[in-house]
């Protein structure tokens, strides 16, 4: 195969990387705010089918703002979920915009059945169908947004410290694309280490591109979301942690939870780990019988997703009672740092959705959605998309056109195609297998200790050397190489930050530092590329300026 690929150059006011719910929301919101802005969406697969909103339960978190103030939920969340590590201003803004976000989704063509189900303290959820992203893509096109499918973005372009665009290549024929823009919105999703099928589309490539461009990362250690899975089918068990029993028939849920909560916490997986360590496993769920017509599709009319849910229930038929469960890593690292306007630390670069959930600081000490709040995943993406899209739309009104650095473009082009030039090397699958060996065990990513983290770092060092020898046979293999490289980078950030944080807080649990330490660790860990070196520093959470203060005992 030759490597003299055609080059195409495109320009826009706003370039959006990612065609899932966050990117499409950003595109539509930006167009509404600034109708004259030229907007391009670039998606490595197919816009409307990308991302996670069309691969799961399809629910939106809902707050009854007629009977509740955002400050009330904020107080609960800070104490019980975020554990004082959150940016309270971001969380309060998210809650306050709840009704507006749902109304705007409806106005854009997404069907939102107004039947609400309680999920936890002060929260409910609405159902939406799995075709919501298709409707958003249709809306964006109708408004004049230009969409490029099958074009992975490999790196971001900069101009004197400001964002200038991005480069990528066609999965179809390898054509090299150079996109110039006054503003870029990253909406590429989280890092999920290619493990759990529903979330595995989060490959971390946008995180890696932002890091290489010089953007700061925040809360990289919170990339360890896990779930209980049926051992037999490996399907996720929603709310299964409420009915956990060991092989002796003892209810172990009561060891870590007094009442049902909105979603799983790390304590459920720690309980599984502790019970197995004591020789009391396996762990089973004693689920009550389910009527034939049960399921959310009986409550919300969602015809597009019904074949998916019916097939899943068929596979699980007769297996609800006394099923054995095991913990499984999901991942959900989402560290690109943004402020309350979804602006990153690079001028002109914004982010939306799961690429920046923890990076916003808003949720505190939890990984990306569900973040212990079922339905917050899609709604957070809509929140980020609206805020980031409108912020970028305002920014480009007065921003100057960017200059392309041709040396930078040429270097990034060489970097993008490098795996295709190697005659010998390692495959992406070899690198991915090694990183999954680091991340997947519960005792490495969720119940951590210094000894095990040190072993993980030695494996990461080996993976970093393997990245230098990645080899691709075709363009899809090239994409896998870039995703494997991003996985190694994200894993290193996560593990090194985990070593640095010597406490347990929220979802982050260390056996050797089991207590929350507000005196020394009410801090964010910030990661940045400094001249090719991964650097770490801490930044005090400005807790004294927030409404909710830590409880004192």
CA distance 356 to 238: 24
Residue 35's CB is within 10 A of a number of other CB atoms, namely 10
Which tokens go with 352?
A: 């939306």
Instruction: Give the confidence band of 125 by pLDDT, cuts at 50, 70, 90.
Output: very high
pLDDT number for residue 293: 44
Q: Where does 424-449 have alpha helices with state H? A: 428-439, 442-445
Distances (CA, A) of 203 to 23, 162, 330: 16, 25, 12
d(CA 423, CA 245): 54
Write the pLDDT tens digit of every residue in 368-380: 998 999 899 999 9
Q: Note the pLDDT of residue 522.
A: 98
Rounded to whole angstroms, how far apart are CA atoms 398 and 227? 46
Q: Which two tokens stand for residue 413?
A: 């082009």
The pLDDT value given to residue 298: 77
pLDDT at 553: 61
In this predicted structure, the answer to whether residue 317 has a pLDDT above a threshold of 90 is: no
Q: How many CA atoms lie within 13 A of 23 on its CB side?
A: 35
Which has more confidence, 238 or 553? Answer: 238
Euclidean distance between CA atoms 243 and 94, whole angstroms: 31
**Sorting pLDDT into bands at 50, 70 and 90, what band is 541?**
very high
- Range scoring the smallest mean pLDDT among 33-37, 260-264, 440-444, 482-486: 260-264
- Residue length, the chain? 553
Q: Residue written as tokens 């929140």?
A: 383
Stated pTM of the model: 0.96
pLDDT in tens, 437-446: 999 999 999 9
pLDDT tops 70 at residue 1: no
Tell me the C-alpha to C-alpha distance, in Å, between residue 382 and each of 8, 64, 97: 31, 18, 10
**Could you give the C-alpha distances from 319 to 228, 286, 312, 368, 529, in angstroms and in order?**
15, 11, 12, 30, 49
In whole angstroms, give the CA distance from residue 484 to residue 292.
43
How many CA atoms does the CB half-sphere of 280 hold within 13 Å?
14
Sole residue written with tokens 């805020």: 387
Region of 167 on the Ramachandran plot (φ > 0 left; ψ -120 to 50 alpha; else beta): beta
Which pLDDT value is given to residue 120?
83
- Does the pLDDT value for residue 292 go beyond 50? no
CA distances from 67 to 95, 97, 116 (A): 13, 15, 15
Strand order, beta sheet including 123-127: 59-62, 123-127, 117-120
> How far is 74 from 548, CA to CA, in rounded Å?
8
Cα Rg, the chain, nearest whole Å: 23
Tokens of 38: 């030229």
Q: What integer pLDDT is reported at residue 290 of this predicted model?
A: 55
Residue 151 has pLDDT above 50, yes or no: yes
pLDDT, tens only, 50-101: 999 998 778 999 999 999 999 999 999 999 999 999 999 999 999 999 999 9
Helix 406-421 / helix 475-500 crossing angle, nearest 10 deg: 100
Residue 302 has pLDDT above 70, yes or no: yes
More confident residue, 523 or 121: 523
d(CA 247, CA 280): 6
Res 2: pLDDT: 46
Instruction: Please give the mean pLDDT across all residues of the chain.
Output: 94
291 pLDDT more than 60: no
Residue-by-residue DSSP string for 294-357 = -SGGGTS--TTTHHHHHHHHHHHTT-SEEEEEEEEEEE-B--B---TT-B-SSBTEEE-GGGST
In terms of C-beta density within 10 A (0-12 exposed, 13-18 middle, 19 or more buried), how is residue 464 classed?
middle
**Domains of the chain, start order:** 7-223+332-398 (3.50.50.60)
Query: What is the per-residue burial (b if ≥16 Cβ within 10 Å, else e) of 490-512?
Result: bbbbbbbbbbbbebbbbbbbbee
pLDDT tops 70 at residue 454: yes
């Amino acid at each position: 195969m030759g490597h003299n690929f055609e080059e195409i150059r495109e320009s826009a006011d706003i370039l959006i990387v990612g065609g899932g719910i966050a990117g499409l929301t950003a595109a539509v919101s930006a167009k509404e705010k600034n109708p004259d802005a030229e907007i391009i969406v670039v998606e490595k697969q197919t816009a409307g089918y990308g991302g996670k909103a069309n691969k799961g339960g399809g629910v939106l978190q809902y707050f009854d703002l007629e009977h509740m103030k955002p400050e009330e939920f904020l107080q609960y969340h800070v104490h019980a979920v975020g554990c004082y590590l959150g940016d309270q201003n971001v969380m309060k803004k998210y809650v306050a915009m709840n009704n507006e976000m749902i109304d705007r989704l409806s106005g854009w063509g997404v069907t939102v059945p107004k039947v609400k189900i309680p999920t936890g303290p002060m929260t409910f959820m609405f159902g939406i169908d799995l075709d919501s992203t298709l409707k958003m893509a249709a809306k964006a096109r109708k408004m004049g947004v230009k969409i490029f499918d099958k074009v992975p973005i490999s790196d971001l372009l900069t101009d004197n410290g400001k964002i200038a665009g991005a480069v990528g290549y066609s999965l179809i024929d390898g054509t090299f694309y150079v996109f110039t823009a006054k503003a870029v919105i990253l909406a590429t999703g989280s890092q999920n280490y290619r493990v759990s099928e529903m979330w595995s589309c989060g490959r971390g490539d946008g995180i890696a591109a932002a890091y290489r461009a010089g953007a700061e990362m925040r809360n990289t250690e919170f990339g360890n979301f896990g779930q209980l899975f049926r051992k037999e089918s490996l399907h996720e068990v929603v709310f299964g942690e409420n009915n956990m029993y060991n092989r002796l028939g003892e209810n172990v849920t009561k060891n870590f939870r007094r009442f049902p909560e909105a979603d799983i916490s790390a304590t459920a997986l720690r309980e599984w780990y502790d019970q197995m360590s004591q020789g009391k496993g396996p762990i089973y769920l004693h689920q009550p019988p389910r009527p034939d017509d049960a399921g959310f599709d009986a409550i919300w009319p969602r015809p597009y997703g019904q074949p998916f849910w019916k097939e899943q229930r068929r596979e699980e038929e007769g297996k609800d009672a006394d099923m054995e469960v095991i913990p499984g890593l999901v991942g959900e690292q989402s560290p690109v740092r943004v402020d309350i306007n979804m602006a990153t630390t690079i001028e002109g670069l914004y982010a939306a959705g799961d690429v920046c959930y923890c990076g916003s600081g808003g949720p505190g000490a939890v990984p990306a959605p569900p973040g212990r709040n079922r339905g917050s995943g899609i709604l957070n993406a809509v929140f980020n998309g609206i805020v980031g899209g409108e912020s970028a739309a305002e920014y480009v009104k007065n921003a100057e056109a960017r200059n392309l650095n041709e040396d930078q473009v040429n270097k990034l082009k060489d970097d993008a195609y490098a795996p295709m030039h190697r005659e010998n090397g390692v495959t992406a699958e070899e690198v991915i297998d090694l990183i999954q060996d680091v991340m997947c065990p519960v005792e490495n990513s969720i119940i951590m200790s210094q000894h095990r983290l040190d072993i993980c770092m030695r494996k990461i060092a080996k993976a970093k050397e393997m990245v230098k020898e990645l080899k691709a046979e075709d363009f899809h293999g090239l994409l896998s190489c870039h995703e494997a490289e991003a996985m190694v980078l994200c894993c290193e950030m996560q593990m090194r930050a985990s070593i640095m944080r010597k406490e347990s807080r929220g979802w982050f649990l260390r056996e050797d530092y089991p207590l929350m330490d507000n005196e020394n660790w009410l801090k964010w860990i910030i990661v940045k590329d400094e001249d090719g070196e991964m650097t770490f520093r801490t930044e005090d959470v400005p807790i004294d300026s927030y409404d909710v203060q830590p409880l004192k005992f």
